[in-house]
Amino acid sequence: MEFILQRFAVRQLFSNNEQGDGRTMFGARGIISLLALLLTYWVPFSASTGSPRSAQSKASLTQPITDSAYAEFVILFVLEGIDQNSLKAGPMPVLNRLTAEWSATWSAQTVSPPLRLPAMASLLTGLPIEKHDITWNDFEFSRGYPRPPTLFDYLDLSGGRDSAIFFMDESLYQLAKPAPYTDYQICGPLKPECNPERLVSYIRQYLRKASSGHGYGHAVLALPHLLVVHLPDAVRAGAFHGWASRDYREALRSVDHALGAVLDLFKEHELLARTTVFVTALSGTEAATPVAVNGQSTTGSPLVPWIASGAGVKAGHIIRQPVSILDTGATVMRALGLETHTDWDSQAVEEVFRDTGPGAAVSAKGR
């Protein structure tokens, strides 16, 4: 509005100084009037329209959220090859604690077939495979990035929120669309040193630099509002060595340790009390069959965990409503107090939140 008033006022100034010969003149009075108008309209306008992203980033570093019903940060752990049977294979104390103490279900639906790239695309776009059309499971440069918007786009559009994404498979380059509100780090089997412990070290470095006040040097200049952590080691070990193998049990321990390590990092940075944590999986142990693609099944749609914990979430709650991994996106936005009006199929899992009043719901179209 100030900008419109400014343009109108300057136009009026020109018209008031028109001489009889049709020329527009600026005398001393005109210059003084123009300066007065600029001081009246331009200065407040400039002061109120700084960079939304930089303002939001500074706030996230120094100020707690004003409404305790909403989180300031979200961590989304995306596992693979883990379901309720995994608890029998080996101890996972961190995952067990989150399940027992917060809101959880072991009956969330994933996509069919539960292949890594299509399933991750569904989780991030909030769309089933037949709508986002990513049916292949390897990075193919010629196919480009997904056409539908992702959770990262919606977070930026709805609230100027940034995301940092740590993927552990090169196939997910297909989803790493560059944007000024996302930072991606990807390592996978092509790097033998890439494992959950190494991924945690990358996150540690990222958070240290992001919280330094100088930015990370990439797109996101401060602490990201959404941190995505992809941990697929369990499905690799189970599909290759067997779901009852020692390698699978060791992979479960490694993944569980990574969960705890990332949570400890947020605690060290005094962020955990303002953070909502989600844990889900793209596939379960039932994904293993003799016929597989890239070590993953091409049949079946296993049930996977879906857990919410932390800021704004009910403690000790068993989720009763049907849940799909597609619902993750809308629930992340709901945790941050953001609304979106989109064509995705994602619906917020409202029952996990302590505040379930009318104003708390995130708009999302039903499936």
pLDDT mean by block of 10 residues, the chain; 367 residues: 36 38 40 38 34 36 48 98 92 96 98 96 97 96 94 94 97 95 93 94 94 68 93 96 96 98 98 98 72 45 93 98 98 94 91 72 41
Count of domains for the chain: 2
Residue 341: its pLDDT value, please?
A: 76
Say if CB 305 and CB 281 are below 8 A apart: yes
Q: Are residues 59 and 207 in the same domain?
A: yes
Residue 286: its pLDDT value, please?
A: 73
Give the range of the structural domain holding residue 70, as residue numbers without chain letter: 52-360
**What tokens appear for 323 in the block?**
């849940």
Q: Are residues 10 and 95 in the same domain?
A: no
**Which of 15, 32, 48 marks a domain boundary?**
48
Q: Are residues 79 and 208 in the same domain?
A: yes
Angle at 358 between CA 352 and CA 360, to 5 degrees: 50
Q: Is residue 365 part of a domain?
A: no
Q: Are residues 74 and 40 in the same domain?
A: no
Q: Are residues 25 and 84 in the same domain?
A: no
Q: Are residues 231 and 107 in the same domain?
A: yes
Q: Are residues 220 and 338 in the same domain?
A: yes
Residue 216: its pLDDT value, please?
A: 60
Q: Is residue 138 part of a domain?
A: yes
Q: Are residues 35 and 137 in the same domain?
A: no
CATH code where residue 315 lies? 3.40.720.10
The structure's pTM equals 0.77
Residue 147: its pLDDT value, please?
A: 92
Q: Are residues 36 and 103 in the same domain?
A: no
Task: Report pLDDT digits (tens) over 93-140.
Answer: 999 999 999 999 999 999 999 999 999 999 999 999 999 999 999 999
Q: Is residue 103 part of a domain?
A: yes
Residue 44: its pLDDT value, please?
A: 34
Q: Is residue 366 part of a domain?
A: no
Q: Are residues 232 and 269 in the same domain?
A: yes
Residue 36: its pLDDT value, please?
A: 40
Q: Is residue 367 part of a domain?
A: no
Task: Report pLDDT digits (tens) over 31-52.
Answer: 434 334 333 333 333 333 333 3
Q: Are residues 85 and 32 in the same domain?
A: no
Residue 211: its pLDDT value, please?
A: 87
Q: Is residue 118 part of a domain?
A: yes
Residue 159: its pLDDT value, please?
A: 87
Angle at 254 between CA 174 and CA 275, to 5 degrees: 70
